[in-house]
């Protein structure tokens, strides 16, 4: 089982060791699992956590590195982290053997290595890192720790790439405002109600942000201040005022009803294979309710007879979805052509761009009137339907159409991942009149049953 990985040598003393990474568990191939370090030397070994977490299915034990897989979005980060841990173990081993002139006890080596890993390769005996930060220095550290996996969720799992991307985006807005207003580094005590009102005015009237984008920046800023306060870096409480609020407006989004989906499914794209594949991929999302990251990562093992069973990337929840007849038609079209009998995946950006071309070609060009909040003001916007179709529209279409069909809310929520009916009701697109019509249909159906009896 043991594979020689790396040999470091203290040339002066002749001390040698090898390092191997071993998964803490392998039974659940999709469960994020810590990698343990086995440092072998002088007929003994020292075992401790590497601080690196990976799903067993992505770990190549023979090569001691992550497998190259399109679904492993943080492969480069993991490879870098593993390489760093190896280096830090070598530094710790060299330091301790130089000091004691002999092989260390396993517990002593473990203690030294864990210190090097905890300090991200900074010599534990060197000058301590600074404890005073400007606001932006702390935010940069928080984002860096989130990306590296040093900062994790409460369940020990890493934050998603989407979360890190959102952090960088909102941080970019804050930096832009700082350059516009302050021309100096912001400190924690700057964040008060005067800051809030001025930043809101700039966000709306200079930058032209939407209510929800401004709210997202405020939410991120409050998160950073909360964590910095927990680290005892400031005593500012002014940002906790009831007036320092995350603004949020309900967004009017569209969905495609069943007849519109059938128009897409029936349109002949045989002369444009690119748009045909885009259409098919989009319809997979419309009839499974999965997020883009999930419906573009369906593996053959996820297809179980008449069901798709998959562990969702965002929540880690395993869902089972019946294969809709239109999805089955698509699978038959790609049978033998792709490894999973589904259209080849493309990036979210490309799918968002091309699906508009698909919808336009299929004739989904009716004018849609939407109300949007921009720069703190409500605007009425008229756009052709095809311009509004996005990848997230697929998921919303699934939820709304299933609701129209009378599928119990709890069953739809099990697929969409909504935790409360209040959140789910905001997500689906059903007008009050449509709800009344659904109720009337149920009454009529019950009346007919009573008469037939």
Q: How far is CA 124 from the centre of its chain?
A: 34
| Nearest Cα to Cα of residue 144 among 86, 224, 35, 50 | 224
pLDDT, tens digit, 9 for 90 and up, residues 439-448: 777 777 666 5
Residue 120 pLDDT grade (very low, low, confident, very high; cuts 50, 70, 90): confident
DSSP 104: P
pLDDT band at 7 (very low <50, low <70, confident <90, very high): very low
Output the CA–CA distances (angstroms, integers) from residue 212 to 143, 222, 315, 419, in the order listed: 21, 15, 23, 21
Asked if residue 9 has pLDDT above 80, the reply is no
What is the rounded distance in angstroms from the CA atom of residue 59 to the CA atom of residue 36?
13
- Average pLDDT value over all residues in the chain: 86
Length of the chain: 453
What pLDDT digit, counting tens, does each position of 300-311 carry?
Answer: 999 999 999 998
pLDDT tens per residue across span 390-422: 998 998 999 989 988 888 888 888 888 777 887
Among the listed ranges 42-56, 57-71, 101-115, 418-432, which one has the minimum average pLDDT value? 418-432
Contact 252, 369 (CB under 8 A): no
Q: What is the pLDDT of residue 387?
A: 92
What is the tens place of the pLDDT at every residue in 192-210? Answer: 999 999 999 999 888 888 8
pLDDT of residue 432: 67
According to the model, what pLDDT value does residue 423 have? Answer: 75
Read off the pLDDT band of 70 (50, 70, 90).
Answer: confident
Per-residue pLDDT band for 4 (boundaries 50, 70, 90) equals very low
Position 126 confidence tier, pLDDT thresholds 50, 70, 90: low
Q: Full-prediction pTM beyond 0.75?
A: no
| Residue-level pLDDT at 115 | 87
Contact between residue 161 and residue 74 where contact means Cβ atoms under 8 Å apart? yes
CATH code of domain 258-444? 1.10.443.10
For the cut 80, the answer to whether the pLDDT of residue 177 exceeds it is yes
H helix intervals, 231-347:
258-266, 273-288, 292-295, 325-334
Token pair for 367: 């004018």
The residue ranges of every structural domain in the chain are 7-118, 135-240, 258-444
pLDDT grade for 135, boundaries at 50, 70 and 90: very high
């Amino acid at each position: 089982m043991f594979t020689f990985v790396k040999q470091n040598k203290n040339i002066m003393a002749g001390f040698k060791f090898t390092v191997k990474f071993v998964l803490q568990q392998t039974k659940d191939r999709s469960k994020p699992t810590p990698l343990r370090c086995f440092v072998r030397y002088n007929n003994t070994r020292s075992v401790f956590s590497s601080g690196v977490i990976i799903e067993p299915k992505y770990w190549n034990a023979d090569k001691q590195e992550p497998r190259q897989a399109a679904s492993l979005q943080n492969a480069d980060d993991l490879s870098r982290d593993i390489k760093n841990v190896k280096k830090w173990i070598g530094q710790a081993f060299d330091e301790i053997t130089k000091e004691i002139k002999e092989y260390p006890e396993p517990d002593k080596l473990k203690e030294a290595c864990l210190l090097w890993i905890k300090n991200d390769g900074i010599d534990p005996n060197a000058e301590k890192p600074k404890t005073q930060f400007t606001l932006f220095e702390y935010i940069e550290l928080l984002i860096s720790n989130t990306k590296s996996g040093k900062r994790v969720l409460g369940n020990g799992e890493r934050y998603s790439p989407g979360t890190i991307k959102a952090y960088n985006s909102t941080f970019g807005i804050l930096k832009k405002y700082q350059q516009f207003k302050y021309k100096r580094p912001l400190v924690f005590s700057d964040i008060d109600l005067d800051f809030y009102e001025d930043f809101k005015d700039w966000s709306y009237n200079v930058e032209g942000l939407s209510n929800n984008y401004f709210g997202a920046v405020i939410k991120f800023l409050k998160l950073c201040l909360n964590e910095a306060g927990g680290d005892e870096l400031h005593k500012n409480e002014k940002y906790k005022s009831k007036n320092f609020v995350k603004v949020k407006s309900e967004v009017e989004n569209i969905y495609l009803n069943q007849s519109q989906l059938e128009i897409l499914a029936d349109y002949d794209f045989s002369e444009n294979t690119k748009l045909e594949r885009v259409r098919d991929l989009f319809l997979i999302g419309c009839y499974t309710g999965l997020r883009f990251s999930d419906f573009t990562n369906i593996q053959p093992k996820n297809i179980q007879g008449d069901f798709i069973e998959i562990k969702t990337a965002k929540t880690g929840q395993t869902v089972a979805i019946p294969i809709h007849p239109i999805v089955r038609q698509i699978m038959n079209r790609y049978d033998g052509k792709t490894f999973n009998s589904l259209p080849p995946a493309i990036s979210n950006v490309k799918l968002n761009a091309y699906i508009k071309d698909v919808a336009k070609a299929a004739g989904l060009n009716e004018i849609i009137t939407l109300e949007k909040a921009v720069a703190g003001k409500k605007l009425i916007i008229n756009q052709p339907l095809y311009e509004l179709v996005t990848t997230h529209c697929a998921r919303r279409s699934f939820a709304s159409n299933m609701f129209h069909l009378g599928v119990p809310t709890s069953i739809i929520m099990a697929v969409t991942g909504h935790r409360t009916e209040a959140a789910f009701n905001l997500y689906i697109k059903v007008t009050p009149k449509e709800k009344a019509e659904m109720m009337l249909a149920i009454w009529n159906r019950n009346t007919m049953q009573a008469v037939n009896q």
